[in-house]
Every structure is written in C-alpha cells, then in structure tokens.
C-alpha cells in the first residue's frame, strides 16, 4: 500500500470513529425516558407499537412463519419496544443497547415484569448473536448510527443468529429525496429506500414483506418495516 492510500485509509478510519463517538456522546445526554427515546415525540409510541404488532401478525399468517420462543431487540434503548410489544409475542426477549444509562433503565423497568432474557451492553457494530437461537430479530430506529459497511456486517451476523424460518425485521426512517441525509446533532444518517434494499441484498438477505407505518405525523420521515430472510 502506498503512502497516499494509507493516508486515505487512516482518514476514513478517523471519520468512522468520530461518527460513532459523537453519537455515543449525544445519547449520553438524552433522558432515559420514552420521550427521550423518541426525540420528544412520546405521543407516537402507542401508534408505533400497534403498527409493529399488525406487521408481525401479518408475518405469522404466511407459510413458513417464525416461531414465538425468542426474540432480540436491537438498539433497545430503555426497553420500550421489548416491554410494549415484543414481550407480548415471545417467551424470551434479549436486548442489545450501547448506552449504559439506557440499558440500566431497561433492567430497572423490566425487573417488575415477567421479562426473561439477557442484556447485552454494546453497540450493534460490535455485537455478534449466538448462532441459530432467534425466531425474530427486531431492529428499529438505530441503523442510521451504523456505517454502510457495519450495517451489512451486522445483518450478516444476525442472519447466522436466526433459527430455521427466522426473520430479521428492520423498522427505519427513509428519505424522500433519494439521497442519504446526515444529522450532525446525533451523528446519524437517514437512507433512501433504494440504499436500504441494496445493503440488505449485499448482506445476503431478501425482503419478503414490507409495510409503511401509518398514522404518523406528516412532517416526519416515512417509516417502513422490512421483513428479511436469507436469499
């Protein structure tokens, strides 16, 4: 490798490192509440959870649907999705969350429930699930904090963590501009539909069903759910 290529690689590594550390610093300042998790829009939580339930119900109506034993909540925050949705559908729900304050709050809230499952304190870019254990891996509003390369690697790892007939479900904001939009405040990106599908396919997965989240405020990004299985 010549000096110019090495310098370029070092620069890219530095940019990626700042992308992750800036995001971590941002979330450290966010209150460990539903309002904090939803950027001040706690009023959409119920609509969000009901939309997710309807989408999951539709997946169980398909031939070769997943089981209902164990799920993973990727980028779980304070456990809003685990407590309000996933626990209603799965016997065991594991949580992955990078922020220490959030995962501690999730443990506190879930301690008073019938929750069964493990807590993994790490970023998705560093997480590797146990092989062949999950019926559904649910990843919502967090992939914008991964670089394209790390997103593909994460999906590849998740695929190995699925049981037979298991699914990965992504629920994410999408841009209408057709371009990647950067939010410098929380150090995240919002991708267009075409790029999300491209990265999914690059990871060796295919979209078997998708659905737009309904009844969100018109000024918000479009939110779409994608059910994925190995190609």
Task: Express each pLDDT in 99-148 by its tens digit.
Answer: 999 999 999 999 999 999 999 999 999 999 999 999 999 999 999 999 99
Q: Is the pTM of this model over 0.85?
A: yes
The whole-number pLDDT of residue 7 equals 44
The whole-number pLDDT of residue 15 equals 85
The whole-number pLDDT of residue 3 equals 53
Task: Express each pLDDT in 46-97 by its tens digit.
Answer: 999 999 999 999 999 998 899 999 999 999 999 999 999 999 999 999 999 9
Lowest-pLDDT range of 3-12, 28-37, 84-93, 119-128: 3-12
**Please, how many CA atoms are within 13 Å of residue 75, restricted to the half-sphere of its CB?**
22
116 labeled binding residue = no
36 labeled binding residue = no
70 labeled binding residue = no
Mean pLDDT across the chain, nearest whole number?
95
For 123-185, the DSSP string reads: -GGG--PPTT-EEEEEEES-GGGS-HHHHHHHHHHHHHTEEEEEEEEEEEEEBSSSS-EEETT
140 labeled binding residue = yes
Q: What domains can you pick out in the chain, each with its CATH number?
A: 3-230 (3.40.50.150)
């Amino acid at each position: 490798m010549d000096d110019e290529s090495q310098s370029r690689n070092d620069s890219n590594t530095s940019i990626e490192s700042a992308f992750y550390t800036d995001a971590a610093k941002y979330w450290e300042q966010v209150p460990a509440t539903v309002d904090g998790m939803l950027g001040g829009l706690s009023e959409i939580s119920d609509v969000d959870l009901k939309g997710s339930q309807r989408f999951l119900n539709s997946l169980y109506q398909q031939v070769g649907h997943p089981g209902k034993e164990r799920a993973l909540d990727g980028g779980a925050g304070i456990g809003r999705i685990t407590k309000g949705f996933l626990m209603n559908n799965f016997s065991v729900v594991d949580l992955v969350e990078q922020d220490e304050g959030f995962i501690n709050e999730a443990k506190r809230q879930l301690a008073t429930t019938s929750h069964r499952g493990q807590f993994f304190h790490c970023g998705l870019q560093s997480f590797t699930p146990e092989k062949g254990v999950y019926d559904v891996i649910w990843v919502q509003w967090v992939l914008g904090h991964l670089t394209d390369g790390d997103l593909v690697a994460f999906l590849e790892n998740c695929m190995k963590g699925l049981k037979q007939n298991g699914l990965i479900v992504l629920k994410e904001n999408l841009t209408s501009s057709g371009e990647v939009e950067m939010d410098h405040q929380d150090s995240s990106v919002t991708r267009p539909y075409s790029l999300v599908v491209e990265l999914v396919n690059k990871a060796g997965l295919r979209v078997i069903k998708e659905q737009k989240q309904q009844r969100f405020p018109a000024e918000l990004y479009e939110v779409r759910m994608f059910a994925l299985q190995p190609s």
